[in-house]
């Protein structure tokens, strides 16, 4: 008899129960126990009789009695898709393998070796096998793993064997591992979910192309994930104490990628261009300020380089987007190969401010600079600038609002609606897609704060809005409410805020800001709105309204945030009047995409008194929601003094709508008609002036010179025509 002292990450040989992996059919087992008194003195060690494990009454016997080895296993990989209720848009790995008494199944995406160390509780197991069933649920470094915190399979009713799920007899580590064993079918089944980056970075996967579709726009792309499976048996005579049978496989997931041409040839320059080049996007992200950052490489397929600017031309390399005309970018050259022979150059461009949705077509104009055949590379480059090359890149990229910290949510919801009927409803049917409404200029914004219907059983809470703030960030800053980081949303003046306005205050209405840019907010609480009586009667809800027009008085591209402070009390203590105040304040923040201003002011971060003592213990919280403003019916015109003005006019000459920030354009036929009309007016004006001059000469021969008043009378009509023509 030999003592068993080989512990694993989920078993212990000194526990009350010896795990089944330590013996097989035909094994001899003997247990020993030693008693200790209160002083810690050891007594005699008592040994049990030797027990021989039956060869005939095993639970899961091998197909050929008396043999051990590796039975065939099954491994599957599939994409869950967006409709999966629990694990959408992930890749599922499933490994099914037969069980034999005494077997320990080991699966990993990394090669398995040295099982004495691999199965031990040592930390190297966690570092080497990040995608395996060797990790307990609290050791998993990816979003999901093969071992979960569940200790019983919900599909199995009852126990197949005595003490199968007994926590007193077996450790929770063992129960979590054996949850994947179906003793009735003698099958192990391990499943886990990963996203693409985890499979590539953590699990050792790789991606390669398998060839292109005939249209040269799509290609088949294959994800390859290596899989190593071992059937492990405890053996005191084996090296390291474990006998193992190793198998390996490779899982493949093939899908169609729509921009195969992008991977092979990059984004090419127009075929008719004199010089050729290619652009390869390499990475795309949104930085901490919410701005879009795109890195790309260029290949000059001519002798020379791409340059930012050159003294020989007034043009410069730049980035623009027709889908975001108000969005500007800063382009910079990161590094370049020191050669003129078709160098690879790395570039980066950053949006100058933040918007929510960056999706659209981006045009990158690069200045090619050709070098002489015998010229040597130098800094700055000695070359001749040529006509810009244009590269169009389609981007699908949206940023979402920062998640609300759990300690500040407190089961409250905030909605911004455009329909008054929804605003006044009881909310029992939900608001659906109507909460993601784009507000046009002049439309009403209906704000509503309510207790989560699931939590507000029987209208047990009373909600009352106290204050509403408006603010917008400067230089792409997105205001957040996180007091631990000294971020107070719209409650505190800060250098990162461009504008901060309090538009509603129930207790002190005289402190409200009623206008912005000489445009009225028309803000009111539901309590002060006679038409909102159905909403006021709902104890768990409250609301407010305001006009969206003031939000359009700053330049395009910024985001407006609405920060609402409200009280929440139990119904028996509720008093919806102004006089009764509560220390239980909550906060809800919403943002609206609108126009930014260009001025900034330095402020001290002095939060509103309600910003203190936020947290679950004081019953205060925040909710963040994003809304969009629709500017499709507005036109931006650059004035001579450099200020941008928004106009609305049905008959604006085409030249006014061709600026970089224009959202309005006239059809080609309309522009032609307006040009012909202007020409006719000009001819008529010249004819009238000639006739008037001839009449004047004839009358001067017969009458004395005209007075100043009569000359003025004659000049009124041409002047009026000039004004009319400019308006058209």
- The tokens of 198 are what? 């985890």
pLDDT at position 387, please? Answer: 87
In 337-396, beta strands by DSSP E:
344-351, 360-370, 384-385, 389-395
In CATH, the architecture of 265-395 is Sandwich (2.60)
C-alpha span between 133 and 203 (Å, rounded): 13
Give per-10-residue mean pLDDT for the chain (728 aa). Answer: 87 89 88 90 92 88 73 88 88 93 93 89 86 93 92 77 86 92 91 90 78 49 87 84 89 67 56 78 77 87 88 89 87 89 89 81 90 84 87 69 51 82 79 68 87 66 83 74 75 82 87 89 90 86 90 74 80 49 50 43 48 53 59 49 36 34 44 76 87 76 44 36 30
CA 595 to centroid of chain Cα atoms = 22
Q: For the packed helices 668-702 and 708-727, what is the interaxial angle rounded to 10 degrees?
A: 170
- The tokens of 73 are what? 């296993």
- The tokens of 703 are what? 């009458």
Torsion of the alpha carbons at 192, 194, 198 and 203, rounded to the nearest 10: 40
Instruction: Indicate the domain borders of the chain.
Output: 20-211+219-249, 265-395, 406-630, 637-666, 669-727
Tracing tokens 């099914």 back to the chain, one arrives at 96
C-alpha span between 216 and 261 (Å, rounded): 7
pLDDT at position 348, please? Answer: 93
- The tokens of 708 are what? 């100043």
State how beta strands 384-385 and 360-370 pair. antiparallel
Predicted TM-score (pTM) of the model is 0.41
Q: Within 13 Å and on the Cβ side, how many CA atoms surround 60?
A: 22
> Residue 152 in contact with residue 179, Cβ under 8 Å?
yes
169-206 as b/e, with b when 16 or more CB fall inside 10 Å?
ebbebbbbbbbbbbbeebbbbbbbbbeeebbeeebbbe
pLDDT at position 537, please? Answer: 86
Tracing tokens 């027990």 back to the chain, one arrives at 51
Q: Indicate the helix (H) or strand (E) that contains 276.
A: none
> Residue 463 in contact with residue 540, Cβ under 8 Å?
yes
DSSP string, 64-107: STT-------EEEEEE--TT-SSSTT-EEEEEEEE--TTEEEEE
SS3 category, 159: coil
Closest among 181, 188, 197, 390 to 306, alpha carbons compared: 390
């Amino acid at each position: 008899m030999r003592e068993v002292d080989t512990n694993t990450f989920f078993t212990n040989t000194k526990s009350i129960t010896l795990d089944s992996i330590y013996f097989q059919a035909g094994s001899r087992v003997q247990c020993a126990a030693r008693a200790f008194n209160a002083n810690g003195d050891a007594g005699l060690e008592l040994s049990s009789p030797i027990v021989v494990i039956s060869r005939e009454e095993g639970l899961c016997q091998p197909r050929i009695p008396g043999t051990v080895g590796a039975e065939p296993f099954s491994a599957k990989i599939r994409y869950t898709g967006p409709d999966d209720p629990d694990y959408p848009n992930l890749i599922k790995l499933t490994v099914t393998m037969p069980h034999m008494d005494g077997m320990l199944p080991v699966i990993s995406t990394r090669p398995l070796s040295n099982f004495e160390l691999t199965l031990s509780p040592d930390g190297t197991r966690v570092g080497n096998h990040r995608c395996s069933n060797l990790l307990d649920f609290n050791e998993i470094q990816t979003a999901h793993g093969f071992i979960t915190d569940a200790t019983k399979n919900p599909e199995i009713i009852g126990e197949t064997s005595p003490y199968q799920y007994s926590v007193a007899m077996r450790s929770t580590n063992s129960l979590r591992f054996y949850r994947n064993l179906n003793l009735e079918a003698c099958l192990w089944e391990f499943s886990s979910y990963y996203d693409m980056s985890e499979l590539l970075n953590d699990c050792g996967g790789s991606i390669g192309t398998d060839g292109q579709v005939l249209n040269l726009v799509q290609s088949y792309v294959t994800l390859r994930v290596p899989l190593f499976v071992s059937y492990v048996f405890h053996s005191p005579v084996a090296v390291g104490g474990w006998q193992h049978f190793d198998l390996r496989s490779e899982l493949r997931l093939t899908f169609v990628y729509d921009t195969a041409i992008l991977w092979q040839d990059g984004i090419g320059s127009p075929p008719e261009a004199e010089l050729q080049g290619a652009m390869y996007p390499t990475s795309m992200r949104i930085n901490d300020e919410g701005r879009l950052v795109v890195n790309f490489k260029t290949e000059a397929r001519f002798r020379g380089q791409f340059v930012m600017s050159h003294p020989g031309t007034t043009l410069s390399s730049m980035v623009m987007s027709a889908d975001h005309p108000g969005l500007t970018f800063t382009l910079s050259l990161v590094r370049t190969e020191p050669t003129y022979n078709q160098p690879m150059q790395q570039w980066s461009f950053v949006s100058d401010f933040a918007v929510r949705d960056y999706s659209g077509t981006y045009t990158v104009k690069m200045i090619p600079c050709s070098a002489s055949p015998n010229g040597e590379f130098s800094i700055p480059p000695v070359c001749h600038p040529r006509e810009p090359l244009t590269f169009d890149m389609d981007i699908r990229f949206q940023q979402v609002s920062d998640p609300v910290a759990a300690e500040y949510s407190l089961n409250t919801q905030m909605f911004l609606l455009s329909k008054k009927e929804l605003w006044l409803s009881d909310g029992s049917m939900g608001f659906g897609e109507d909460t993601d409404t784009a507000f046009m200029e002049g439309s009403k914004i209906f704000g509503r704060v309510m207790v989560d219907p699931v939590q507000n059983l029987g209208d047990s809470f009373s909600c009352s809005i106290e204050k509403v703030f408006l603010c917008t960030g400067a230089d792409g800053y997105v205001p957040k409410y996180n007091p631990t980081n000294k971020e107070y949303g719209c409650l505190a003046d800060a250098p990162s805020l461009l504008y901060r306005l309090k538009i509603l205050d129930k207790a002190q209405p005289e402190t409200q800001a009623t206008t912005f840019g000489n445009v009225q907010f028309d803000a009111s609480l539901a309590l002060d709105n006679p038409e909102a009586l159905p909403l006021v009667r709902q104890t768990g809800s409250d609301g407010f309204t305001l006009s969206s027009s003031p939000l359009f008085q700053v330049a395009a591209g910024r985001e407006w945030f609405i920060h609402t402070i409200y009280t929440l009390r139990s119904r028996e203590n509720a008093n919806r009047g102004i006089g009764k105040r509560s220390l239980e304040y909550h906060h809800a923040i919403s943002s609206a995409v609108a126009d930014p201003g260009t001025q900034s002011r330095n402020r001290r971060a002095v939060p509103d008194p309600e910003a203190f003592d936020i947290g679950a213990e004081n019953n205060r919280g925040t909710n963040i929601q994003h809304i969009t403003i629709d500017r499709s019916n507005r036109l931006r015109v650059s004035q001579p003094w450099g200020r941008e003005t928004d106009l609305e006019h049905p008959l604006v000459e085409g030249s006014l709508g061709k600026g970089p920030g224009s959202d309005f354009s006239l059809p080609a036929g309309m522009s032609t008609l307006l040009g012909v009309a202007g020409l006719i007016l000009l001819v008529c004006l010249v004819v009238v002036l000639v006739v008037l001059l001839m009449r004047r000469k004839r009358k001067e021969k017969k009458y004395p010179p005209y007075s100043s008043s009569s000359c003025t009378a004659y000049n009124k009509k041409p002047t009026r025509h000039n004004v009319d023509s400019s308006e058209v």
